[in-house]
Amino acid sequence: TKPLSINDLTEMKRRGEKITCLTAYDASFSAVLDKAGIDVILVGDSLGMVIQGHSTTVPVSIEDMVYHTRCVSRARQRAFVIGDLPFMSYATPELAAKNAAKLMQLGGAQMVKLEGARVDCVSFLVGQGIPVCGHLGLLPQSINQLGRYAVQGKNQTDAEKISQDAFALQKAGATLLVLECVPASLGKHISGQLSIPVIGIGAGVNCDGQVLVLHDMLNIGIVKRPRFSKNFMVDVNSIEDAIIAYQLAVKDSRFPSLEHSF
């Protein structure tokens, strides 16, 4: 089997098939997700919290990301692998290119993700042949500016800003977008407006796909599960079955329900 490509994901959006995504940080979970048919594995910098035990994603280094991305990409066959660029690893477009190259050449990532309306970095990376996933809404790397993890884009002005940023990232060449913790109405609006697939987390059921932090949905954790996440272990007896339950619920638009949306 060869891994899915970005074209496969774009085609899924075009024909209305939901894209399933979960985070993974090691080879064992990578293989379990891959086998369950999860379309995209995100090696998120959330590993700073769920793997390393930090209270934020801010301390994560590019070396940490390369190590975990390599573990994940080695063990998957079909899933598309995205690696997160950690805090301050894309302070300038040149730095972004240097670190994105590490995630791809050493880590085996097919795409890199960065937070915020960083049109400068996105267009520079895309110009170098590096596929980029944007990330808007709640930006965990900016937690020290935000003060708390809260729903973003609740008023008209903030919602319009996120919509415009989403367009700008698409225009700059981003080919995927993660939208975190925004009202379901905004998730629907942005997914409908953009031609690139929008993967939601706490962004409602009308996004083109869904992502969750693996440890949250498996109910293992030192981190409190966010309101938009769900414990998929409740009705099953194995991790494999929990992943399959998530996979089916997303494909059938049964997750997220209103209780897991804003």
Q: Write out the residues near ligand KIV by the rule CB under 6 A.
A: 23, 42, 44-46, 84, 178, 180, 201, 211, 213
The tokens of 32 are what? 């379990």
Tell me whether residue 46 or residue 73 sits nearer to ligand KIV (CB atom).
46
* Residue showing the smallest CB distance to ligand KIV in the complex: 44
The answer on whether 158 is annotated among ligand-binding residues is: no
Task: Give CA–CA dist 203/103, Å, rounded.
Answer: 27
Q: Residue 48 Cβ, how far from Na ion at the closest point, in Å?
A: 9
The answer on whether 45 is annotated among ligand-binding residues is: yes
Q: Residue 89 Cβ, how far from Na ion at the closest point, in Å?
A: 12
Contacts of 29 (CB under 8 A, 6+ apart): 72, 214
Tell me whether residue 130 or residue 139 sits nearer to Na ion (CB atom).
139
Task: Give CA–CA dist 105/97, Å, rounded.
Answer: 12
Stretch that binds Na ion, among 18-26, 84-92, 205-213, 227-235 (CB under 5 A): 84-92
147: exposed, middle or buried (Cβ count in 10 Å: 0-12, 13-18, 19+)? exposed
Bridge partners, 19 (sequence order): 209
Task: Give CA–CA dist 197/199, Å, rounded.
Answer: 6
When asked if residue 165 is in the footprint of Na ion (CB under 5 A), the reply is no
Q: According to CB under 5 A, which one of 34, 39, 64, 84 is a site residue for Na ion?
A: 84
Instruction: Give phi and psi for 172, each to the nearest 5.
Output: -75, -10
Task: Give CA–CA dist 243/218, Å, rounded.
Answer: 8
Q: Residue 31 Cβ, how far from ligand KIV at the closest point, in Å?
A: 19
Active site residue 63: no
Task: Give CA–CA dist 236/238, Å, rounded.
Answer: 6
The residue to which tokens 């267009």 are assigned: 123
When asked if residue 180 is in the footprint of Na ion (CB under 5 A), the reply is no
Q: Residue 262 Cβ, how far from ligand KIV at the closest point, in Å?
A: 15
The answer on whether 18 is annotated among ligand-binding residues is: no
Binding-site residues from annotation: 45-46, 84, 113, 115
What is the contact surface with Na ion in residues (CB under 5 A)? 44-45, 84
Binding-site residues from annotation for Mg(2+): 45, 84, 115
Residues classed as catalytic: 180
